[in-house]
Amino acid sequence: MKKLNSILLIDDDHASNFLHKMIIQRTNCVEHIKVCISAQKGLDYLINKDDPDYQIPDIIFLDINMPGMNGWEFLEEYKLLSDDLKAKIIIVMLSSTINPDDVLKANESELVNEFVNKPLTRETLLHLIKVFYNLEFE
């Protein structure tokens, strides 16, 4: 069965990363999962491709509230990347924000494909993969 090539998790919360990585692994829907614990590290990963395991992500799950560079600032920098790279990536804001402005901003952003409340669930992951990649997993 065809799988996604890569998913990138960008979140400073280790517990969320652990849980989300476990959910993604259990769905057996992707070959490679990369975790970056800051928006800047996520951006560096996309730009520098220095990581020996570098894969262009099919999906980026991006948290909003992070120290240093937040999710919105990441998107401002992401905007400057090549259209060729961006065309291949679906960005999902994955956040525990309770600020309705964040949800509105994400829904209005041309870069954000979907807004999802934390935690990521198996059902949500499978739904996103079906909607954006027309793939189904059990």
CATH of domain 4-124: 3.40.50.2300
Q: What is the pLDDT of residue 54?
A: 86
Q: What is the pLDDT of residue 16?
A: 97
> What would you measure as the largest C-alpha separation in the chain, in angstroms?
40
Give the position of tokens 């919360």: 13
**Quick check: 62 pLDDT over 90?**
yes
Q: Contact, 54 vs 42, CB < 8 A?
A: no
Report how far residue 42's alpha carbon sits from residue 11's, in angstroms, rounded to the nearest whole number.
9
The pLDDT tens digits of the residues spanning 77-121 come to 999 999 988 888 999 999 998 899 999 999 999 999 999 999 999
Return the minimum-mean-pLDDT range out of 48-52, 65-69, 114-118. 48-52
Q: Contact, 20 vs 120, CB < 8 A?
A: yes
Neighbouring C-beta atoms of residue 116, cutoff 10 Å: 17
Report the first-to-last Cα separation within the chain, whole angstroms: 11
The pLDDT tens digits of the residues spanning 22-39 come to 999 999 999 999 999 999
pTM over 0.85: yes
Domain boundaries, the chain: 4-124
